[in-house]
Amino acid sequence: MDQTFHPRLTVLTHPLVQHKLTIMRRRETSTGEFRSLAREVSLLMAYELTRDLPIERVPIDTPLEPMMAPSIAGKKLCIVSILRAGDGIASGMLDLVPSARVGHVGLYRDPATQRPVEYYLKLPEDVAERLVIVVDPMLATGHSASAALGRLKAAGCNNLRFACLLAVPEGLSVLAAAHPDVPVFACAVDRALDEHAYIRPGLGDAGDRLFGTK
């Protein structure tokens, strides 16, 4: 746990996560390989994010005898993707929890104010009753993540987590100021943002690398 920039920050240091992230960072990694690795890393992230889900005992029949077996209790998960790059993370998490509901928040950066503007929102009707994991590969300025979390709180959500591949101190500080109650999970905290708000050393534009658009 590294709480230097956010009071509830967890950096996922598992060797497989770190190894796969290193391959994703490489310039020569192809679109297909990048997309596949993003899916694999996201599945591993989902394992960490869900390790404290509540458990109850339910009656089942094994081939040999009845028993009381552990099962996840109550309403389960909703994964909310910040479009468009968040879909590259959501898909891997759904491999682990295919029954999870999925929501989407569309945001773009206003060129004049540099602030996020919402253009799309679609959430499950019972989203407020679920653990909601908000996903975006990069936590750069932190404004989009903060806006998405704020929108979900306005929808009644009070069990929120944010997950990303890379974060920087600037974005973590913005989230710490706006949403100190929301746990943040990142695979790495990079050095800083450059003058164009790109994460350095980073891995490039995650959306372009996921979808081969540049």
Looking at CATH, the fold of the domain delimited by 9-211 is given as Rossmann fold (3.40.50)
- Candidates 105, 107, 163; CA nearest to 131 is 163
**Catalytic annotation, pick one of 39, 208, 209, 213:** 208
Categorize the per-residue pLDDT at 4 as very low, low, confident or very high, splitting at 50, 70 and 90. low
Q: Does the pTM exceed 0.85?
A: yes
110 part of the active site: no
- Per-residue pLDDT tens for 16-61? 999 999 999 999 999 999 999 999 999 999 999 999 888 999 999 9
- Per-residue pLDDT tens for 70-101? 998 877 899 999 988 899 999 999 999 998 99
To the question of whether residue 190 is assigned a binding role by annotation, the answer is: no
To the question of whether residue 139 is assigned a binding role by annotation, the answer is: yes
51 part of the active site: no
181 part of the active site: no
**Catalytic annotation, pick one of 27, 52, 110, 113:** 113
**Catalytic annotation, pick one of 151, 205, 209, 213:** 205
* Dist. CA 134–CA 201, nearest whole Å: 24
